[in-house]
Structure 1
Amino acid sequence: MSIIESTLTHELLTSYLKYNETKGEFTWIKRPNKNIHLHTRAGTKNSAGYRVISLFGKRYPEHRLAWFYVHGEMPKHEIDHINQIRDDNRISNLRQVTRSENQRNKTRKDSRVDEIGIWWCRRRKRYIAEISLNGKKVYQKSFTDIDEAISARKAKALELGFHENHGKTQAQY
């Protein structure tokens, strides 16, 4: 079996790439092809804002490779960027979560409000704060004031065990 046909092993990963846990970046320590320069940053940013690394004809999300590099096994679930910055791949910013947990950080596509779990209802002319768990709404309340809606939703989210950075567009350092 050729190297391209085989699955990526931890040994193969660490023989070609070096991961800097503090910066969250990979650099090449061995050339997989003639177009790669040693000791340069590996990968590029894709259209969704995530960094990806091509290795032996396959593109890998950098955050998944970082997890694999540090923990020695590919993540079984999704990897969440705690601070919501898609190209911040420091291991301290990554956590393994289920699909359901990761979906909690999504904003509605039809929302005019740039806040997770808050949207404007034209018919009622009120802000709606809501939380869903496992496909079921567990919290929904309407407010005339957006700040009240945000505060109420965040308090309920913490009560329900959501991560403290849930709903933030950028973590506060």
Structure 2
Amino acid sequence: MRLKEHQLAEYFSYANGQLLWSGGFNKGKEAGSPRPDGYRIVNKFKVQYYVHRVIWCLHHGELLDGMQIDHINGNRLDNRIVNLRAVTAAENNKNLALSDANRIGVLGIQFNTKHGNFTARIRANRTLITLGTFGTLLDAVAARKSAELSFGFHPNHGRQPRAA
């Protein structure tokens, strides 16, 4: 069951990045609770909704099928409307944080211990593209950042992971 825009306004309001209950004994209190994955959810009619999606719909109407809501700064609890944007899955993947497992500190760069050089790669349009092999990390990073720019990656792509 999907909540429609007019139903959302009946049960919820928005203020300062928070989803608030509009009525009942919880009126004015923040709606929902945080999940272990960092998102905030709210229950209504025995269905769980992501708070950021409810906030988006309150402001912009129903979200089109296949669209996702991206937290621009990567903070899943920052549900200010200026931090939310509707994107496709492919666009959302162009605004990822650096993995905790990344040892180099930059997405798409690998160190080749046998040859002592760095390889830069990027995945764009479902294709893995090797950008080249470089003698220095700085050169490999420059190639990767240039490719991110040309393929329309978000400036926040590759940011440091959020603190747990």
Q: TM-score range by the shorter chain?
A: 0.7 to 0.9
2:95–2:153 contact (8 Å) kept in structure 1: no
Q: Which residue number in structure 2 is paired with residue 100 of structure 1?
A: 90
Q: Choose from 68, 72, 81 the match for 1:78.
A: 68
Letter in 2 for 1:81: H
Shift of 1:26: 0.7
- Paired with 1:56 and 1:128, the residues of 2 have a C-alpha distance of 51
Residues 129-164 of structure 1, C-alpha deviations (whole Å, 9 max, x = no match)? 321113201343334543443333112211222222
Kept after mapping to 2: 8 A contact 1:126/1:143: yes
Query: Contact 1:112/1:120 (CA < 8 Å) preserved in 2?
Result: no
- Alpha-carbon RMSD across the aligned residues, in angstroms, is 2.5
Q: Note the alpha carbon deviations across 1:60-113, whole angstroms, 9 max, x for none.
A: 111111211111112431111111111111111111111122223344575323
| Corresponding residue number in structure 2 for 1:3 | none
Percentage of pairs with the same residue? 35
In terms of mean alpha carbon deviation, does 64-73 or 125-134 score higher? Answer: 125-134
CA distance in 1, matches of 2:80, 2:13: 13
Q: Is the 8 A contact 1:111 1:120 kept in 2?
A: no
Preserved CA contact (<8 Å) 1:108 1:117: no
**Alpha-carbon distance in structure 2 between the residues aligned to 1:56 and 1:124:** 60
Match of residue 29 from structure 2:
40
Equivalent pairs, count: 159
1:69 corresponds to 2:58: yes
| 2:21 pairs with 1:28 | yes
TM-score where L is the length of structure 1: 0.77
Q: What's 2:145 paired with?
A: 154
Q: Which runs of 5+ in 1 are unaligned?
A: 1-5
The CA deviation at 1:17 is: 0.7
2:52 matches 1:52: no
Instruction: Summarize the Cα distance change of 1:56–1:147 in structure 2 as closer, same or farther, 3 Å threshold.
Output: farther
